Amino acid sequence: MKKALWFSIMIVILAAFFASSYPDGLEKVIGKLGFIKPAASSPVLLSDYHVLSIPNPNLSTLIAGLAGIILTFGIFWLTAKLLVKR
Amino acid sequence: MHIPNGLLDPKISFGLMGAAAAVLGYCFAKVKAAVTAVVQQPAFAAVGKGIKSLVGGGHRALTKLGEQKIYLMGMVASLIFAAQMFNFPIGHGTSGHLLGGVLAVVLLGPFAGTLVIAVVLGVQAIFFADGGLLALGANIINMAFFGTLVGYYLYAGLRKYLSEPVSIGISAWLSVVLAAFACSIEIALSGTIGFGLVIPAMFKVHAVIGIAEAMITVVLINIFKKMVPLPEE
């Protein structure tokens, strides 16, 4: 379990520094062909994989990514723990 | 291909939320049945717990293997979340990232895999504003249903004739293209971009992203299987 989580953390670290910031496939298609501009979503805590209050973009993405790992793994971990207790 | 808010017609958004709820409800029931077992209570323990437990005998409880399976789902969810952050350039100022549907179902099976992708999409929409909340139903149908659950049946079908890595690669490519196709149909039906424009444009870019999806999926499955011994079904 630990190995797998460290592996995810390693990928987030790499992503924080090396991920491409170009628009993804769908964003590109909308940008090129769409005549409706998608509504700007109201900023949430970790919008666009950045922590709003951290100015350094790499660090900001890194922290956001780690939060994402904790959230995604945590949901399942908590579910299992609660079910075992019952 | 996370659809943002404001791109889809509200009728389509809400309709797809209903469809997504139905798909996830079915998957949830399947996973629940797989990770729990009926615990037969000894007769003396059942006394005083009502007639139902006396005649029916026991309730469903999480099994040891079921608990391991849920942790495994969490590990795969975090892996896919992390890998989806890693956008890679595909030329023409465009990037792509892993979808992870076939990755999830090869490691977890069809129903647990679909739930995992849906949870990742939910976390992304709620906490990261990646994919609109209103479009979450559409994103779940595109990526968790077509890209993952249908992806599993494509993989299982191909696996009868082809080797494991080849089946994974082809089904991973197909799953991305299929999800992109579903996404195009929804956008066109919403009147945002015409059918004739959006379908070829989405196909072209996701046919390329799909090649990366195929390679990354094969590599990550190999690494993951070496790190975490999968429980025998």
Report the sign of the C-alpha dihedral through residues A54, B126, B214, B105, in that order: positive
Closest partner residue to B94 among A28, A65, A67, by Cβ?
A28
CB contact under 8 A, A20 and B87: yes
Residues spanned by the domain of A68: 2-85
pLDDT number for residue B32: 95
- Alpha-carbon distance of B187 to B183, in angstroms, equals 6
* B203 pLDDT above the threshold of 60: yes
CA-to-CA dists, residue B118 to A2, A10, A19, B95, angstroms: 23, 23, 23, 22
| Predicted pLDDT at B42 | 63
- The reported pLDDT for the residue numbered A38 is 62
SS3 for chain B is CCCCCCCCCHHHHHHHHHHHHHHHHHHHHHHHHHHEEEECCCHHHHCCCCHHHHHHCCEEEECHHHHHHHHHHHHHHHHHHHHHHCCEEEECCEEECCCCHHHHHHHHCHHHHHHHHHHHHHHHHHHHCCCCCCCHHHHHHHHHHHHHHHHHHHHHHHHCCCCHHHHHHHHHHHHHHHHHHHHHHHHHHCCCCCHHHHHHHHHHHHHHHHHHHHHHHHHHHHHHHHHCCCCCC
Q: Tokens at residue B151, please?
A: 């992806």
What's the rounded Cα separation, in Å, for the pair B201 and B199? 6
Residues written for chain A: 86
Distances (CA, A) of B225 to B21, B109, B228: 31, 14, 5
CA distance B80 to A7: 11
Q: Which residues are CB-contacts of B105 (< 8 A; sequence separation ≥ 6)? A: B113, B114, B148, B149, B151, B152, B155
Query: Number of A:B CB contacts under 8 A?
Result: 196
Question: What's B10-35+63-227's CATH class?
Answer: mainly alpha
Does B74 sit within 8 Å of A72, measured CB to CB?
A: yes
Q: What is the pLDDT of residues A28-68, one digit of tens each?
A: 999 888 766 666 666 677 888 988 888 899 999 999 999 99
Which residue in B65, B76, B85 has the most chain A C-beta atoms within 10 A of its own C-beta, making it the best mutation to test that interface? Answer: B85
Contact of B107 with chain A, judged by CB distance below 8 Å, is answered with no
Number of structural domains chain A divides into:
1
The pLDDT value given to residue B56:
52
Q: What angle do CA A60, B82, B107 make, to 5 degrees?
A: 170
Using a CB-CB distance cutoff of 8 angstroms, which residues of chain A are in contact with residue B1? Answer: 24-26
Closest Cβ–Cβ partner in A32, A43, A77 for B71: A77
Instruction: Give B211: exposed, middle or buried? Use CB within 10 Å, 0-12, 13-18, 19+.
Output: middle
Q: What is the pLDDT of residues B133-163, one digit of tens each?
A: 999 999 999 999 999 999 999 999 999 999 9
User: Which of A15, A26, A76 shows the shortest C-beta gap to B77?
Assistant: A76
Give tens-digit pLDDT for B156-174: 999 999 999 999 999 999 9
Identify the burial level of B207 via C-beta atoms within 10 angstroms of its C-beta, where 0-12 means exposed, 13-18 middle and 19 or more buried.
middle
Query: Mind listing the pLDDT tens digit for each residue in A71-82?
Result: 999 999 999 999
- pLDDT digit string (tens) for B15-48? 999 999 999 999 999 999 999 998 876 655 555 5
User: How does pLDDT run across B75-93, given as a tens digit for each residue?
Assistant: 999 999 999 999 999 998 9
DSSP label at residue A24: B
- Domain parsing of chain B, residue ranges: 10-35+63-227
Residues of B in contact with A15 (CB under 8 A): 82, 85-87
**Residue B113 with chain A: CB contacts under 8 Å:** none
Task: Collect all residues with Cβ–Cβ distance below 8 Å to A78 and sequence separation of at least 6.
Answer: none
Chain mean pLDDT for chain B = 92
